[in-house]
Amino acid sequence: MNFVEEENILEINRVVMTFGGLMALSNLNFQVKKGSIKAIIGPNGSGKTTLFNIITGSFPPTKGTVRFKGRSIEHLKAHKIADRGISRTFQTVELFGNMTVMENVMLGCHTQVRTSFMASGFVLPQSRRKEKRIRENALKILKFIGLADKFKDSADSLPLGEQKLLEIGRALASEPELICLDEPAAGLNETETHMASSLIKAINAKGITVLLVEHDMKVVMNISDEILVLNYGQKIAEGLPEDVRNSLSVIEAYLGVEA
Amino acid sequence: MLRIAKLPIVIFAVFIITFPWIASQIPAINHYTDIMVFAGIYCLITIGLSLFMGYAGQISLGHAAFYGIGAYVSAILTVKYGLNPWVCMCIGMAVTAAVALLVGAPSLKLKGHYLAMATLAFGIIVFIIFNEETEWTGGPDGMAGIPGLSLLGFDFSSVGRYYYLVWGIVLAAFVFTVNVIQSGTGRALRAIHASEPAASAMGVDVSRFKILVFVYSAVLASLAGSLYAHYLNFVNPSTFDLFFSIKLLIMIALGGMHNIWGAVIGAGLITFLSYEWLYYFEEFEVIVYGAILLLVTIFLPKGLAGVPGIVKGWFRK
């Protein structure tokens, strides 16, 4: 474990989310320690992605608060939350398929460097300098995720494994303090899964807090500092990987109760 | 990086500069300079529309309204109040920007067909206003006596001079738009086109960018409208009807929506078709446009601007 300090970067307090009559999350409380890797697991439909969407501002919770670095963010729109330092990937890859690998990462730098419409239209020197900085930054990230030699390819043309890596790279480009990864290993083969795990560890080693939704238990058990288990929108277990592994309620939720 | 090659822009500029001279040497196409003035005016609209539709992935069926607002503001303020045409042009753009902001803020929350319907309705409403507000607009009869343009004693009344004025503005707008496309702003627009959730998760203020481009394209249309009014010295509502909005769509579909050059090629071709080559079809002109739209969407989804890419593909095999 490499906690920078015993401080919570993210606090979820009494969050409730209902869609019509369906309760997707009911009264959820948990914290993420700064500098840690926290995994959220649970059967399909247990509310994991809903939780991610609330944290990253796709929609506000019905009730409850989300505090990031001590300030509540649950009312903010997605782009404002990105500005605050939370970045994410998507369960089904949401790359910009009409752009190159490089451009995808460059777009990730959007929060860091912003040019006005007029400045870009008149190609003011400042906007040119910014572009140069973004390009250098993007290339560094591509080297980090191992896709530097494919920078010119269209994002659509990459195999799924590399698309997933690229999504992580794009999320990193915004220099987040918290990165939310929605099933980074889904659909990957064993080698790719291994690469994704070590990448997540490397990201965490840079001091970035990782919040992870994942079904691949090997990945989860290997890299997480803490695990939260959801079932039907409720927390059924939370703690260290070895504790969660042996928790009876978790086994029940996944495998059912013996008759 | 999305790079738009500079050489074609230079060649294009040279073509535009020399065109009136070439046309004047060949008696059969003597009058083409006049048609090119209209081509330039339409081109100004399609450049903005290309950024809004092709790059940002939105849709508008109401740009004829912005074109009309520009034309009518210029017409009313010069004819009824005797204001300086250049000032009227700027007021027209400011009014259009305000209207676009008002219309865009709520309607750009809509997507796809719904956005198309909202902009369509807006276009129809404005068209009705042009027709019914007889005291201001002259109603269906239109307004005559709109003065021509002159600057510091230099008179733009001849076709040749007006041609250079219009195409000078078009070139400036084209270069400006190309710069936007190649910048971080252009990247954000294309990101919105590909995936709005991902774009906003990366910090792109999606609704702000959409409104920004909508207003920009509306302002260009307004400027085009003013140029049209001062060139013809006359406006009437039928110029700004729904069919014109659709014609603009055909222009950028034919030229190629995902490429800024498509806006130029499409506007040029459709202008010449409607002013010159389809003359004999008279009322059946519409059928030809329908056929063009159908054929292009089936066989050339990237429009004429996509043809070089297809040809290159053949040679690679």
C-alpha span between B268 and B86 (Å, rounded): 26
Q: In chain A, which among 185-204 make CB contacts under 8 A with chain B?
A: none
Write out chain A residues lying below 8 Å of B183, CB-based. Answer: 115, 120-121, 123, 127, 131
Say if A240 is an interface residue toward chain B (CB within 8 Å): no
- A55 and A164 inside one domain: no
Average pLDDT of span A10-37: 92
Residue from B187, B206, B207 to probe the interface with A (highest A Cβ count within 10 Å): B187
Q: Does A113 touch chain B (CB under 8 A)?
A: yes
Contact A82 B206 (CB under 8 A): no
Q: Nearest CB to B187: which of A88, A106, A111?
A: A106
> Does B170 fall in a domain?
yes
Residue A258 confidence (pLDDT): 59
Residue A51: give the domain boundaries: 1-85+176-259
Subunit contact A113:B188, Cβ cutoff 8 A: no
Written as one letter, the residue type at A86 is I
Buried b (16+ CB within 10 A) or exposed e, B211-220: bbbbbbbbbb
CB contact under 8 A, B183 and A115: yes
Give the end of a domain, one of A146, A169, A192: A169
Chain B residues with CB inside 8 Å of A174's CB?
Answer: 202-203
- pLDDT band at residue B224, thresholds of 50, 70 and 90? very high
Mutation target for A interface from B176, B196, B202: give the one with most A CBs within 10 A. Answer: B202
Give the closest residue to A71 by CA, choosing from A157, A8, A156.
A8
User: Is residue A119 situated within a structural domain?
Assistant: yes
Number of domains chain A contains: 2
**Residue A108 in this model has a pLDDT that exceeds 50:** yes
Question: Do residue A139 and residue A79 come from a single domain?
Answer: no
A150 shares its domain with A183: no
Which among A78, A94, A110 is the nearest to B188, CB-wise?
A110
pLDDT value at position B270?
92
Residues A13 and A76 in one domain: yes
Query: Which of A118, A142, A169 marks a domain boundary?
Result: A169
Strands of the sheet containing A234-239, edge to edge, are A86-88, A178-182, A209-213, A37-41, A226-231, A234-239
Nearest to B179 among A77, A96, A121 (CB): A121
The reply to whether A192 falls in a domain is: yes
Tell me if B1 is assigned to some domain. Answer: no
Q: Is A213 a domain residue?
A: yes
Q: B54 to chain A nearest CA, in Å?
A: 12
Q: Confidence class of residue A248 from pLDDT cuts 50, 70 and 90?
A: low
Statement to judge: residues A32 and A107 lie in one domain:
no
Q: By percentage, how much of chain A surpasses pLDDT 90?
A: 60
- What integer pLDDT is reported at residue A3 of this predicted model? 46
Based on the fold, state whether residues A105 and A165 are members of the same structural domain. Answer: yes
Residues A70 and A186 in one domain: yes
B86/B151 Cα distance (integer angstroms): 9
* B143 falls within a domain: yes
Mean pLDDT of chain B: 91
Closest CA to B6 of B175, B196, B205, B237: B175
Please report the pLDDT score of residue B287 as a whole number: 87
Shortest CA gap A96–chain B (Å): 5
Same domain, A109 and A57: no
- Whether B77 maps to a domain, the answer reads yes
A231 and A46 in contact (C-beta within 8 Å)?
A: yes
Minimum distance, in Å, between the CA of residue B204 and any CA atom of chain A: 6
- Domain extent, residue B87, equals 6-316
* Integer Cα distance of B42 and B267 in angstroms: 6
Q: Do A100 and B1 touch (CB under 8 A)?
A: yes
Q: Is residue B19 part of a domain?
A: yes
Average pLDDT for A250-256: 69
Return the minimum-mean-pLDDT range out of A34-43, A250-259, B25-34, B83-92: A250-259
Same domain, A109 and A234: no
The answer to whether position A91 is within a domain reads no
Taking residues B243-254, report their average pLDDT: 93
Q: Which range, of A125-129, B68-72, B201-205, averages the lowest pLDDT?
A: A125-129
CB within 8 Å of A248: residues ≥ 6 apart: none
Say which CATH number the domain at B232 has.
1.10.3470
User: At A6, is the pLDDT very low, low, confident or very high (cuts 50, 70, 90)?
Assistant: low
Interface of B with A (CB under 8 A): 1-2, 176-177, 179-180, 183-188, 190-191, 193-195, 197-206, 212, 216, 258
Q: Are B218 and B66 in contact (CB under 8 A)?
A: yes
| pLDDT above 90 coverage of chain B, percent | 62
Which residues of A fall within a CB distance of 8 Å from B200? 57, 77-79, 82
**What is the SS3 assignment for A152?**
coil
**Residues A216, A107: one domain?**
no
Are both A77 and A183 inside the same structural domain? yes
**In a shared domain, residues A152 and A186:** no
CA angle, residues B295, B254, A97, in degrees to nearest 5: 95
Domain count, chain B: 1
State the CB neighbour count (10 A cutoff) for residue B25. 9
Domain-terminating residue out of A116, A149, A169: A169
| pLDDT band with cut points at 50, 70 and 90 for residue B215 | very high
| pLDDT band (50, 70, 90) for residue B317 | low
A148-201, pLDDT tens digit by residue?
A: 999 999 999 999 989 999 999 999 999 999 999 999 998 888 988 998 999 999
